[in-house]
Structure 1
Amino acid sequence: MPKIKAEKKSRIHNEVAKQGIMFNKDFGQHILKNPAIITAILDKAAVQATDVVLEVGPGTGNLTIQLLSRCKKVIACEIDPRLVAELQKRVQGTQYQPKLQILIGDVLKSDLPFFDLCVANVPYQISSPLVFKLLLHRPQFRCAVLMFQREFAQRLVAKPGDKLYCRLSINTQLLARVDMLMKVGKNNFRPPPKVESNVVRIEPIRPPPPICYPEWDALTRIAFTRKNKTLSAAFKQGGVTAALEANYKRHCSLNNIAIDPNFDIKSKIETILKTVEADQKRARTMDIDDFISLLHAFNSEGIHFA
C-alpha cells in the first residue's frame, strides 16, 4: 500500500477509534457529524412537538437527540446492538429517555408502528427497499426527509427522457411527490463515505392512486428491463409472454370465460399495445399517465401482471 494511502487510512481509523466504536461498512454506518446539517434537515422536515418520528439507522444518536428535543416521540430502528447500547447510554437519566423507543433489528423485516414523519440518514444499501416499505406503509405518514447517495436521490426525482430516469423514478413518483432539498458533502460524515449525498423530501400522495401496486410494479419491471427498446420488443421476450399467457388462462378459468382455440398471446399483446399507441414507445420516455393507460388496456382484456 502506498504510504499516503496508508497514512490516510490510519487517520480515519484513529478518528473512529476515539469514539470506542469501529463502524461496520456492511451496515452502511457513516455517522452524520455536522450539527448545521442536522439542524437544516430538521427545519426542512418541519418537525412538530406532537409528532411521532421514525428514524432508521440512528447510529450514535447525533440526529436522534435533536429530534427528541423537538418532537413527542422517536422510534429508532437500529440493527447493530453496539450502537443501540451507545444510544441508550446517551439518553439514560435525561428528559429524553421516556421519549425514545428503540426497535432492534432489520427495519426491512420489522412491522413498523404508526408514525407521522420519517427523518433519517439512511444506510445506502437499503435505500430502494426502504423507500417502498415506507410508501406502502399504512396508515400513511405525513412526509419523509431522508439522506441518500446522490445518484440514488437523482434517480428518485428524474423525469421521462432524463438519463437517470428508471423504474425507481416512476414507481416512486406514482406514490409520492419527491423533491430534492440539499446537497451534503462526504466530509460531513464520520467516517466519510466514497460518494456525495443529497437530502430528499418524500410526501405520500393522499389518497393513494387506485391502482393495484403489485400489477403496476410487474408492468414497469417488464418495460424498464430494456428501457431503450420499444415496448413491442420488451413484450416479445419468451419469459414475459409465457407468464402473461398463464395469467390470462387463470383469469379466464376463474371467470368462466371460454378461450378461443386459435388464441395467440403474442398477437393479443401486440393488438393491445397498438390500441393505445404504445407499441413503438420506449419506457425511458413514458410518464405515469402512459403506464396507467397501458395497465388499464391490458387489464380490460383480461391480462394481468400479478
Structure 2
Amino acid sequence: MAGGKMRKERTQRGGGAAASASPHFQGGIPFHKSKGQHILKNPLLIDSIVQKSGIKSTDTILEIGPGTGNLTKKLLEVGKSVIAVELDPRMVLELQRRFQGTPYSSKLKVIQGDVLKSDLPYFDICVANIPYQISSPLTFKLLSHRPLFRCAVIMFQREFAMRLVAQPGDTLYCRLSVNAQLLARINHLLKVGRNNFRPPPKVDSSVVRIEPRRPLPPVNFKEWDGLVRICFNRKNKTLGALFRQKTVLSMLEKNYRTLQALQLVPPVEDAAEMSAFVSVLGDAVGDLSIADDDDNGEDDVQMDDGDAKSGFKEMVLGVLKGGGFDDKRASKLTQSDFVHLLALFNKAGIHFS
C-alpha cells in the first residue's frame, strides 16, 4: 500500500486529457486497488502514525509498501535510516527520483521484491501501510525475525486488527488472537476511516502497535498450536466435548503411544526452530477466516468418540476435569489458561506434536 500526503493532481482547465481524468493517480503513476495500493491522503494521520511510533534518531526503520514515498519522507526526517521494501518497480523508480539529490538519499535503501519472500535486514522499528491481503503472513514473518525489533506500527484492515487485539469473551477472539498475543503485546492505536484513502478501500482500517515479548513464553510452539487448533475448532463448545471427538483422541493416542515406545518427549525448540515455525503460522492461522470459530451460540453436542480406547479417553478427560477445564470454552480462556492446560497435558504424557 502507498501511504503519505497526497500531492496535488495535475489538472488541465482548458479541456483535453489530464491526469485527473483518473482519481487514482499520484505523481503520474496509476494506483491499482487489486494490488492493495491506496494512498493515505490525510497528512495529519501520517503525522499521528509517526508520532505514535516513538521513533528515535538512532533507529533504523523498516517500511513496507512505501508507494511514492510520502510516509517515507516523514520517517527519514525522524530516524537514522529507512529500509523500504516495495514490490512495484514503478514505485521503486518514483522513490529513487523523489529523494535523489536530497539530504535523505544516503539514508534510504530501497529493496525491490515481495516482502514475504525477502530476507529482511536488521531494523529497530517497522512502520507500514500494507496490502491487507498479506496481513497474517506478514505479522508472523515479522515476529519470527531475529534479532527482535522494538516494535511495529502497522495499518491493517479494521476487522483483522480487532482480531489481533481481541480478549477472551470478545466476539472476534480467535486462534489468531491467541497465537499473536503469545508472541507479542498488541495494542490498538487509532481507527482510520476509508475516506482517508484515495482510492478508498471497501473497509475501514486501524493502526496497531506490536511489541515482541522478551523473553518468549517457555512453551513448545508446535505443541501450543496443536492444542489451540483443537480448542478453537469450535470455540464455543466445551473442551470436554471437543476432546471426546474420535479424530482428536486418535491423534493424541497415536502421539502418546509413539513417544511412550521411544521414551521421548518433544523438545523445546531452540531459537532457529521456533523462528522457522512462527514464520509459517501466518498461513496456518489465515487472515479473516472464521471457519474455525463457532460463533453461532449453539448448545454443546456429544461428540462421537467412536472406537477410541476407553483407558486413554479417560486419561484425557481426567486431565480436563482435574484442571477444571472440562466445562470451559476456548472463547473464554486466557493466555495463562492455555499455558496451564498444555502443561497439564504434557505432565500426563499427552502431547500435540
- TM-score scaled to structure 2, two decimals? 0.77
Q: Does 1:283 align with 2:330?
A: yes
2:83 to 71, 75, 84: 75
Give structure 2 stretches of 5+ with no counterpart. Answer: 1-18, 266-308
1:253-285 residue CA offsets vs partner (Å, 9 max, x unmatched): 33279xxxx785433321221121111110000
AA partner of residue 114 (structure 2): D
After TM superposition, give the deviation of residue 243 of structure 1 in Å: 2.6
Per the TM alignment, residue 118 of structure 1 is displaced from its structure 2 partner at its CA by 0.8
| Higher fraction of helix | 1
What residue number does 1:206 align with?
A: 214
User: What amino acid is the match of 1:300?
Assistant: K
**8 A contact 1:60–1:87 mirrored in 2:** yes
Which residue of the partner structure matches residue 7 of structure 1? none
Q: CA offsets, 1:196-222, max 9 Å, x none? A: 111111112211111122221221111
Q: Is the 8 A contact 1:147 1:197 kept in 2?
A: yes
| 1:156 corresponds to | 164
1:95 to 1:288, Cα distance in 2 relative to 1, 3 A: same
Evaluate the alpha carbon distance shift between residue 294 and residue 88 of structure 1 in structure 2; reply closer, same or farther with a 3 A threshold. Answer: same
Q: Distance in 1 between matches of 2:167 and 2:206?
A: 17
Alpha carbons of structure 1 residues 144 and 192: separation in structure 2 relative to 1, 3 Å: same
Partner residue, 1:4: none
Q: Relative to structure 1, is the Cα distance of residues 155 and 256 closer, same or farther in structure 2, using a 3 angstrom cutoff?
A: closer
8 Å CA contact 1:140–1:204 kept in 2: the answer is: yes
Are 1:52 and 2:28 an aligned pair? no
**Secondary structure class of the residue paired with 1:179:** strand
Provide Cα deviations, 1:228-258, integer angstroms capped at 9, x if missing partner: 111122223343333323322332233279x
Q: Please say if 1:173 is aligned against 2:220.
A: no
Q: Percent identity?
A: 59
Q: 1:242 — aligned with what? A: 250
Give the partner amino acid of 1:291. Answer: F
- Aligned pairs, number: 292
The Cα shift of 1:13 comes to: 6.8
User: Is 1:137 matched up with 2:145?
Assistant: yes
Match of 2:230 among 219, 222, 228: 222
Distance 1:146 1:18 in 2: 22
Task: Describe the shift of the 1:220–1:39 C-alpha distance in structure 2 as closer, same or farther (beyond 3 A).
Answer: same
AA matched with 2:318: T
SS at match of 1:141: coil
- Distance in 2 between residues matched to 1:145 and 1:196, nearest whole Å: 17
Partner letter of residue 215 of structure 2? P
Unaligned runs of 5+ residues in structure 1 are: 1-10
Q: CA–CA distance in 2 between the matches of 1:246 and 1:109?
A: 35
**What residue is the counterpart of 1:271 in the other structure?**
318
Superposition RMSD in Å: 2.1
Aligned 8 A contact 1:251 1:303 in 2 = no
- Are the equivalent residues in 2 in contact too, given 1:54–1:118 (CA < 8 A)? yes
Distance 2:51 2:264 in 1: 57
